[in-house]
Amino acid sequence: MTFQHPADRGGEGRGRFERLAEAVSRFTSSLAFFLLCLALVAGVVAVHAAGLELEWQLFAQGWMTTVTLLLVALLKNSELRAERAIQRKLDAIAAALLEQQEGERGKAHDDLKAAIRMEEET
């Protein structure tokens, strides 16, 4: 287990957790997920409105809490990777512009080419 930024963990490609976080990020932005959330909230409201036993109310609330915590962790991972990729692209653009202004072509040009579509790799 590591506490490094997801984009700085190194290695070839993305790990299982990063691929899972990306898939969850895509799913949570879909209409299907929104409808699932509506159904979950409606279920919790129905349990409370029906006046079911306390155990059922706690069970429904527990599911809401579990889903929320898992989503926060997975979506934060995706957010951090995208944020770092954007920052690296901006750094590469700035360095390439500086090289161009100074009339030379060097490492920044290569870094700028490497930064294209970087968010898909990290």
d(CA 64, CA 69): 9
Reported as a single tens digit per residue, the pLDDT across 24-40 is: 888 888 899 889 889 98
Sign of the CA dihedral with 76 first, then 79, 85, and 86 last: negative
Q: Per-residue pLDDT tens for 37-56? A: 899 889 888 988 998 899 98
Query: Residue 35 has what pLDDT?
Result: 92
Q: Which DSSP string corresponds to 12-79? A: SS--HHHHHHHHHHHHHTSHHHHHHHHHHHHHHHHHHHTT--HHHHHHHHHHHHHHHHHHHHHHHHHH
**Domain segments of the chain: what residues?**
14-115
The string of pLDDT tens digits covering residues 56-113 is 889 888 988 998 888 888 888 778 888 888 888 888 887 777 777 777 666 776 776 6
Q: Which of 15, 13, 70, 61 is nearest to 40 (CA)?
A: 61
pLDDT, position 20 = 83
pTM attached to this predicted model: 0.53
